Structure 1
Amino acid sequence: MPPPRPLSLITGASSGIGAAFARQLATLGHDLVLTARRVDRLETLATELRGQHATRIIVLPHDLSDPATPRTLCDALEQRGLQVDWLINNAGYGVPGTFVANGWATHADFLQVLLTAPTELAWRLLPGMRQRGHGRIINVASLAGHVPGPAGHTLYAASKAYLIKFSQSLALENRAAGVNVCALCPGFTWSEFHDVTRTRDKMDKLPGFMWLSAEEVVHQGIAAVERGDAVYIPGRVNRTIKAAIQLLPDRLAMWLSARESKRYRNTQI
């Protein structure tokens, strides 16, 4: 049985999908642990939610590119006697340009944030969920993990494909123990993501029907993990894209990816 007031740990909670998870889970009666690098954003969000809901909110600013952060976070929770019921692995970003255009340190930080940190957090928090017989893990992946990897942002699609397969395995391993795991795979979502990657001018040229709000992505994601969906793509357009790509020969799918990626990826060295 779920606890009367579940505790949710949300990474990348300072904006976008992470902040939307915080708002919706607080509305559902969850206590929250919010983590990200921007402490001012986290404190502003915490103040907003404390004023709207009778919920406990703990702000733990950390940088997930530091390999020590997952253990540090979990140690801080244990010292407070807190048990995480929902883990939202949301932190992520894109690295513009081609693979060799960026230094290895940039790629290493990216892999730490998008691959190693969510994997380690799940490893550290899953035993407690299994012991209590209830838990939820949402790994925020992407539609990009279902389609051919484009030129530019080279590691992004690859990292999201990993999260999808990882989530499927975890879902199968832990469902009987009362723990549901879901890879949430949004397509284009209104957020700061494309401002950070300096592709906003390209993204604004895409038609409006291809976009979802962060709030809608989160609403559908929460419903999906509660249903026990191991993988969920929000939005009919995004599900159609995934289905169509799967029907195409690899060569044609790669050609389409190369053509379309020029519209929204920075492929310059």
Structure 2
Amino acid sequence: MEPAHALVTGASAGIGAAFARELAARGHALILTARRSERLEALAAELRAGHGVDVQCIACDLADPAAPQFLCEEAARRGLVVDTLVNNAGYGVTGTFLSRPWATHADFVQVMMTAPTELCHRLLPGMRARGDGRIVNVASLAGLLPAPAGHTLYAASKAYLIKFSQALALENRPHGIRVCALCPGFTYSEFHDVNGARELVQDMPRWLWMDAAPVVREAFAALERGDVVRVSGRVNRAIKGFFKLLPDRLALRLIDKRGKDFRVADDSPAPPR
């Protein structure tokens, strides 16, 4: 029988690659998915050589509504059982809501909300039948704070993942399945290069940043404890606590003032469709 595999989305870089490395170091077989097949294959070769685990690569774009079904069916076709799901794939869309065409937002919602939700729906029945499973939904500290202008749907999508994970955890705990929403703050990765905010964030204090590896280790520790929501790092937990104490109006005013340090809020018109 094939060993159970962990499915990691957005595995080609950043937190996703760190999840893959940590799982491989723990001896877990893997299914890696992302758009860049060459990056996936390079990581897979590294993990096979370093840890002797089976690593399968399935390249796809989660912006395609057919991708979640394709992923699950391809894993089943290869005879792979998924006992761990890491919904990590994600990115940010710069600018204000009306500065981008609807197609851009539709792709974002598909990747950030619909795809992880569908993957949970498709893979949970098997986990329940086996009486064991783990799901990590990579959310963000942004989902727990007031949302600044710019990147309009980002914090909203992360807040959705947090609430979704809470309900999912309560529904599935009696079936031996643990669910955790991981909420990192600023993490060293390609995230800000891809969304065009690198110049904004590069001057931010180093104490606000974490490496991806300790963020991932916190996620596994949280799963083992049964934590449903885990904010990574003491600094980020302090930030969350600070904003929780503020009146809503003051918190929103403060995040509006500081949001310009890390959010691109270009309000130029959307390009023609």
What TM-score do you get using the length of structure 1 for normalisation?
Answer: 0.98
Summarize the alignment of residues 17-166 of structure 1 with structure 2, pairs less than 5 Å apart: 17-166=15-164
* AA partner of residue 88 (structure 1): V
Alignment deviations for residues 29-77 of structure 1 (CA, whole Å, 9 cap, x no partner):
1000000000110011011111101100100000000000000110111
Q: More displaced, 17-26 or 199-208? A: 199-208
Distance 1:68 1:219 in 2: 32
* AA partner of residue 221 (structure 1): A
Summarize the alignment of residues 231-246 of structure 1 with structure 2, pairs less than 5 Å apart: 231-246=229-244
Shift of 1:4: 10
1:229 matched to which residue of 2?
227
Contact 1:185 1:234 in 2 (8 A): yes
Identity of aligned residues (%): 61
Distance 2:69 2:195 in 1: 29
Q: What SS does structure 2 have at the residue aligned with 1:85?
A: strand
Distance 2:229 2:81 in 1: 25
2:271 matched to which residue of 1?
none
Summarize the alignment of residues 151-190 of structure 1 with structure 2, pairs less than 5 Å apart: 151-190=149-188
Alignment deviations for residues 83-127 of structure 1 (CA, whole Å, 9 cap, x no partner):
101000000000000000000000000000000000000000001
- Could you list the structure 1 runs, at least 4 aligned residues long, displaced by more than 4 angstroms after superposition: none
* AA partner of residue 162 (structure 1): Y
Distance 2:36 2:111 in 1: 15
CA RMSD of the aligned region, Å? 1.1
Distance 2:71 2:224 in 1: 25
Q: 2:206 aligns with which of 197, 208, 221?
A: 208
1:268 matched to which residue of 2?
266
Call closer, same or farther: CA 1:246–1:4 in 2, change over 3 Å. Answer: farther
Call closer, same or farther: CA 1:4–1:181 in 2, change over 3 Å. Answer: farther
Distance 2:209 2:19 in 1: 18
1:217 matched to which residue of 2?
215
Structure 2 unaligned regions, length at least 5: 268-273
* AA partner of residue 45 (structure 1): L
* AA partner of residue 123 (structure 2): L
Contact 2:2 2:79 in 1 (8 A): no
* AA partner of residue 59 (structure 2): P
Shift of 1:5: 4.7
Alignment deviations for residues 157-199 of structure 1 (CA, whole Å, 9 cap, x no partner):
0000000000000000011111000000000000000111111
2:10 matched to which residue of 1?
12
Q: 2:252 aligns with which of 251, 254, 259?
A: 254
Alignment deviations for residues 176-226 of structure 1 (CA, whole Å, 9 cap, x no partner):
111000000000000000111111111111111111100110011111112
